[in-house]
Each structure stands twice: as C-alpha cells, then as structure tokens.
C-alpha cells in the first residue's frame, strides 16, 4: 500500500495546448514536496488537479491507494493556501481559524482550545481578537496557514503562499513553514518558482519545465547531480560549458583535457556535451596549474565582494566562468595577471545536449 499521494501519468490539455504532460510522482505520507519551475510551466494546473479544482485530461490520482480522480473537492479534505489569500475580512482572527470547525460542528470548547493551540503554533498567541485589517502581511499569511491546518487536512497544498511578502519576511516564513511541517508531519505540497525557497523547504523537489517533469529528488541531489542542462541552469548558479567527449572519463574543453567523474555511460566519442560546474566548486589560484590536466589558464575580468565570499568572473580562452574565492585569497588573486582555474573532477557533471 502506498501511503500518501500518487499522481499516475497525468496530462492536462486546454484545447490544443497541453500544459501538463505525462506527470507521474508520489508524495509519501509526512513528506514536504515542492513543485518548482518557471512561471507558466504548469505547476498550478498540476496542483489544482490534485486539489480537485481541475480534471485531468488523462491519467489518475490516488490518495492512500484510493483513486480520487473523480472525488469532488469538498470530499477530499485537502487544505489550500494561495498567494492571494481569502481570509474573511469581517471575521476576527479566531473566527477565521475556527471557521472549518464550525462547519464540522466541533464543540465551542474544543474549538477554542484548538484555536489557542494553532495561534501558539504560528507564534501569534495574542492576536485572536484582532480583525484581519489589523494584521501585517506576514501575520495574515500565518493566520491563513493556521486556518487551513484547523481543517486537519490529509494533504496540505500551498501555491506560492509567500511570494507577495518582502524578501526578509519570506526567508523567515520559509524556515517557519518548514519547522511547522516537521512538527506536524503533515503531507504537504508547495508550488514555487523560487529555487532557493524549494531548497530551503523541501524533502523532495519536482523540477518542471513546459509541463514536463525534468527531475525528482532531494534538494542536494538535484543541486549536485542535475539531470539535464535545464535543471543545472535553473537550480542555483552553474557554469555551463560546451565540451566534446574524448572517452569515458575525459572531455575536451577548447585546448584542455578535463576529467569528469559524473559522466553518463552512453556517450559517443566526439559527441558534443555540456560540462556543468558550480561556481563554489571552482578553485582559483594565483600559481600556474602546471601539469594538472583539470586546470585552465584564465584572466580575472571582474570581482565583487558579496559578503562572506568574493565572486569572480574569469575569462578562460574566451569562455566566461563564474567562481568564488574566500576573502583571504583575494589579495593574491587580485594581484595576478593570469590565474589557474581548477575544475575538480568530482565536481564536473557531463550533461548530454
Ligand atoms: N483555465 C485555463 N485555460 C487555458 N489555459 C490555461 C488555463 N489555466 C492555465 N492555462 C495555461 O497553462 C499554462 C500553465 O499555467 P500554470 O499551471 O498556471 O503555470 P504555473 O503555475 O507554473 O505558472 C499556462 O500557459 C497557462 O496560460
Ligand atoms: Mg502558478
């Protein structure tokens, strides 16, 4: 038996426009999964099908092994929080949170106790009597989350719930949301276009582009071993360099041979590929690389101190690479005419083109 949600080969088309294509994935019970991808890639449509607000054109959706594809929204007991919140402006915070319990005929005493608990949980124990227009944006968002949780949903769905908040509050709320979910162990799906948000929050990230799933995995796996060029470019910053396969371990990058540990086994000699390496994996030193086959000669074209580390742009035979250096290395590198740019073999991922 599969505990949790299963999406099986789901497609959604609006007329001739297919916006979600053959998506299959599972959200195991208690996990936090993010649907991540650029705007328009079909994240909301996929989530709306899970919620029951849209019907798949083909494919099925299961919850705890039960086919719910045709179950109406109100019988699914899923809770949703959207970017544009619909808190009831004419009700107090307490009454907003208690709303679903009123519908379920929970006794007034139990309702009050539960509201108190949820207000504690969102760290706003003293605002129950306030009206909604007396709250800040972040407080409203937390009340919306508490109201959704009061439903005791079997699945918690959040569609870009933090994107209207300013950067600092958003950061804070991401951490809070994650902690809240870990405490309650509630099965949760969050839709976002913000890769940093997905990295912060998720147990598993589902990366989407053009309605198609590109990769599914834990954040570190997706970051370290991107499945293709799209994922490598979309998640964090990556240097994506055109290279040619030499054999099962080496590629040629301009005039240099580069050993790469992460190389698919089905590549042909002479085939054009992309070498992907993260800026923080590149080591820049002032000495020459000597005989090191994994070093390129480069020239620093730009440096900026972004606090904590220094970002470098390096010209290597006409290719621009982004790297980072620690402040201690700064003076030494800044003074050198040419630098040695080392690409550690275990940080080089080869992606088919
Ligand atoms: N009801 C609809 N009718 C027609 N096209 C739609 C409808 N809803 C969404 N779309 C289209 O489907 C695509 C995916 O939309 P959406 O799921 O909202 O993307 P995302 O949430 O990733 O930004 C977009 O091109 C959008 O215009
Ligand atoms: Mg959307």
SS (H, E, C) 234-254: HCCCCEEEEEEECCCCEEEEC
Distance, in Å, from the CA atom of 281 to the CA atom of 323, rounded to the nearest integer, reads 8
Do 310 and 326 touch, CB atoms closer than 8 A?
yes
Could you tell me which residues are beta bridge partners of residue 8? 60
**CA 175 to centroid of chain Cα atoms:** 14
Element containing residue 285 per DSSP (H, E): strand 283-285
State the pLDDT at residue 261: 92
State the pLDDT at residue 287: 72
**17, 19, 195, 214, best to mutate for ligand 1 pocket (most atoms within 8 Å of CB):** 19
Closest by CA to 342, choosing from 306, 308, 314, is 314
State the pLDDT at residue 164: 79
Are β-strands 272-277 and 349-352 bridged in parallel, bridged antiparallel, or unpaired?
antiparallel
pTM, rounded to two decimals: 0.87
State the pLDDT at residue 58: 98
**Torsion, CA 201, CA 205, CA 208, CA 212, rounded to 10:** -150
Domains of the chain: 4-229 (3.40.50.300), 237-352 (2.40.50.100)
Distance, in Å, from the CA atom of 334 to the CA atom of 92, rounded to the nearest integer, reads 60
Q: What is the DSSP letter of 268?
A: P
Closest by CA to 351, choosing from 215, 211, 202, 197, is 215
Question: What is the secondary structure of 256-314 as a DSSP string?
Answer: EEEE-SB--TTPPTT-EEEEEE-GGG-EEESS--TT-TTEEEEEEEEEEE-SSSEEEEE
Of 29 and 290, which is predicted with more confidence?
Answer: 29
**What is the pLDDT averaged over residues 149-160?**
92
C-alpha separations of 78 from 63, 141, 152 in Å: 11, 18, 8
Q: Give yes or no for residue 40 CB within 6 A of ligand 1.
A: yes
Report pLDDT digits (tens) over 279-313: 999 988 877 655 677 999 899 999 888 887 888 99
Which residue's CA is the closest to the ligand 1 atom numbered 20?
40
State the pLDDT at residue 87: 86
Q: Please, what is the Cα angle at 294 between 293 and 298, to 5 degrees? A: 105
State the pLDDT at residue 26: 97
Q: Give yes or no for residue 14 CB within 6 A of ligand 1.
A: yes
Average pLDDT, the chain: 91
State the pLDDT at residue 86: 75
**What is the pLDDT averaged over residues 189-213?**
96
**What is the pLDDT averaged over residues 34-55?**
96
State the pLDDT at residue 291: 62
In angstroms, the first-to-last Cα distance of the chain is: 39
Q: Please, what is the Cα angle at 160 between 154 and 166, to 5 degrees? A: 130
Distance, in Å, from the CA atom of 112 to the CA atom of 110, rounded to the nearest integer, reads 5
Which residue's CA is the closest to the ligand 1 atom numbered 2?
14
Cα of 74 vs centre of ligand 1, distance in Å, is: 23
Q: Give yes or no for residue 208 CB within 6 A of ligand 1.
A: no
Cα of 254 vs centre of ligand 1, distance in Å, is: 42
Does position 224 have pLDDT exceeding 90, yes or no?
A: no
Could you tell me which residues are beta bridge partners of residue 89? none
Distance, in Å, from the CA atom of 274 to the CA atom of 243, rounded to the nearest integer, reads 6
**What is the pLDDT averaged over residues 113-133?**
91
State the pLDDT at residue 12: 98
Does position 327 have pLDDT exceeding 80, yes or no?
A: no
Q: Please, what is the Cα angle at 50 between 148 and 102, to 5 degrees? A: 30
State the pLDDT at residue 93: 95
Q: Give yes or no for residue 43 CB within 6 A of ligand 1.
A: yes
**11, 14, 210, best to mutate for ligand 1 pocket (most atoms within 8 Å of CB):** 14
Distance, in Å, from the CA atom of 281 to the CA atom of 252, rounded to the nearest integer, reads 19
Q: Give yes or no for residue 41 CB within 6 A of ligand 1.
A: yes
State the pLDDT at residue 289: 56
Cα of 47 vs centre of ligand 1, distance in Å, is: 11
């Amino acid at each position: 038996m599969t505990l949790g949600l299963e999406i099986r080969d789901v497609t959604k088309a609006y007329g001739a426009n297919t916006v979600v294509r053959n998506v299959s994935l599972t959200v195991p019970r208690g996990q936090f999964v993010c649907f991540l991808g650029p705007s328009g890639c079909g994240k909301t449509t996929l989530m709306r099908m899970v919620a029951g607000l849209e019907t798949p054109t083909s494919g099925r959706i299961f919850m705890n092994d039960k086919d719910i594809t045709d179950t109406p929204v109100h019988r699914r007991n899923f809770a949703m929080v959207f970017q544009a919140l619909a808190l009831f402006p004419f009700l107090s915070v307490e009454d907003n949170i208690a709303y679903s319990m009123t519908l379920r005929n929970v006794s007034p005493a139990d309702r009050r106790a539960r509201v108190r608990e949820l207000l504690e949980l969102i760290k706003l124990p003293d605002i129950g009597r306030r009206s909604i227009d007396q709250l800040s944006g972040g407080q409203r968002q937390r009340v919306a989350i508490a109201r959704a949780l009061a439903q005791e949903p079997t699945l918690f769905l959040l569609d870009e719930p933090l994107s209207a908040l300013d950067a600092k509050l958003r950061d804070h709320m991401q951490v809070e949301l994650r902690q809240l979910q870990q405490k309650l162990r509630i099965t949760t799906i969050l839709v976002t276009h913000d890769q940093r948000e997905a990295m912060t929050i998720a147990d598993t990230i589902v990366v989407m582009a053009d309605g198609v799933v590109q990769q599914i995995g834990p954040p570190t796996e997706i970051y370290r071993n991107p499945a293709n060029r799209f994922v490598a470019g979309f998640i964090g910053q990556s240097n994506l360099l055109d290279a040619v396969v030499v054999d099962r371990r080496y590629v040629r990058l301009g005039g240099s041979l580069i050993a790469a540990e992460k190389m698919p086994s089905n590549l042909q000699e002479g085939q054009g590929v992309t070498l992907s390496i993260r800026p923080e994996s590149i080591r820049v030193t002032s000495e020459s690389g000597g005989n090191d086959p994994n070093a390129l000669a480069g020239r620093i074209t730009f440096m900026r101190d972004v606090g904590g580390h220094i970002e470098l742009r390096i010209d290597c035979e006409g290719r621009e690479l982004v790297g980072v250096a620690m402040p201690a290395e700064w003076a030494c590198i800044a003074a050198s005419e040419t630098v040695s740019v080392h690409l550690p073999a275990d940080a080089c991922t080869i992606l088919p083109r």
